[in-house]
Amino acid sequence: MEKFKAHILVVDDDDGIRELVKEYLNHNNYLVTTSNSSEDALEKVKVIKFDLIVLDIMMPGKDGLQFTEENKDKISTPIILLTAKGEANERIEGLDKGADDYLPKPFEPKELILRINNILNKTKYIEQKSVIIFEDIKIDLNKQIIFKNKNEFKINNTEKIILEKMINNPGKTFSREDIGKLIEGKYLKITDRKKEIFKTSGGKYIAPQVMENKFKQSMFIEQIMVIGENEKHPAALIVPDFEILKKWCKNHNISFNDNEDIISKQVVLEKYSKEIEKYNYSFNQYEQIKKFELLPKIWGPDTGELTATLKLKRRNVLEKYKFLYNKIYN
């Protein structure tokens, strides 16, 4: 079981920044819930016991300072304030209203992690967390028990695995295909359409749709097709989520002209290499993506890569991007 360190609420009205912070904290083994306003954050705080709140100051409606001032005495949760304003008087005002720390934008994600760890260490929250509390419901994953009021409900290994997945992906809707078939209460076996399974030159079978579904969990990947039939190793053609990618570039002061330009940047290619590496760990060595190419245009039915029901036309994609296929394998 992969335990998480702490449950953090990230509050920011900027979708890009909010999701980037979530992605980085998830990568560092934190459970993250997000909110786009102080009002929505307050509703979540009423039902979920968070270990720490990362809160933007400059938001429509009630700003972060108002939220901190009005709720600091009502909740014991530590608060880190984020803002584009970095003047000393702004920091003093935030700390005076009850914030535990203050981080001006733009900031290095590593610095945010260090500040979070420092606060959690001081408040003794930094431990492998396995108990989640929602109003009158408590879930203890170690003991495999759900407590509601004075009642106890024992859960089996299969239910525990499903709960872990849902708890570590708040807000995500899981389909039956996502969950797959649970084998012996421990391992997930997800099936692929037989006609889409291919074999490498080494005789290993690859289920591309399974891999594609996994890699699309990355917020930076909009579309992906795993290739490599009769080749030594799998590779991938990837269409980035350009909305997220452009916000990421903006936050890292990376200039660009258009989609073609942005996917040619070495720093962007390195970012996607790290994303691929992160999700490769879910697969056997022979299944892992060794090379990839980024594409500048999203696939669709009108351009011939997808069916009317948005399924991949794999042959069409291979034919259209044959030059990239050859670049990867030649």
Of 75, 52, 53, the residue nearest 124 (C-alpha): 52
Three-state DSSP class for 277? helix
For residues 206 and 319, state if they share a domain: yes
Res 168: pLDDT: 59
Q: Which of residues 67, 89, 122 is at a domain's end?
A: 122
* Any domain includes 159: yes
For residues 43 and 109, state if they share a domain: yes
Structure confidence at residue 186 as a pLDDT band (50, 70, 90)? very low
* Any domain includes 2: no
Asked if 243 and 222 count as a contact pair (C-beta separation under 8 A), the reply is no
Q: How far is 217 from 73, CA to CA, in rounded Å?
A: 38
Cα 106-110-114 angle, rounded to 5 deg: 110
Q: Which of residues 139, 160, 188 is at a domain's end?
A: 188
What are the φ and ψ backbone dihedral angles of 93, each rounded to 5 degrees?
-60, -45
Domain containing residue 255: 194-329
Mean pLDDT of 297-301: 92
For residues 55 and 151, state if they share a domain: no
Structure confidence at residue 327 as a pLDDT band (50, 70, 90)? very high
CATH code for position 70 = 3.40.50.2300
Helix (H) or strand (E) holding 259: helix 259-262
For residues 175 and 111, state if they share a domain: no
Q: Provide the domain count of the chain.
A: 3
pTM over 0.85: no
* Any domain includes 1: no
* Any domain includes 15: yes
For residues 306 and 208, state if they share a domain: yes
The amino acid at residue 285 is: Q
Asked, as a colleague might, if the bond just before 106 is cis with ω within 30 of 0, I would say yes
* Any domain includes 282: yes
Asked if 272 and 292 count as a contact pair (C-beta separation under 8 A), the reply is yes
For residues 184 and 200, state if they share a domain: no
Q: Which of residues 92, 122, 152 is at a domain's end?
A: 122
For residues 37 and 142, state if they share a domain: no
Q: Which residue has the higher pLDDT, 85 or 68?
A: 68
Q: Which residue has the higher pLDDT, 174 or 155?
A: 155
Mean pLDDT of 92-118: 82
Contacts of 49 (CB under 8 A, 6+ apart): 7, 77, 133
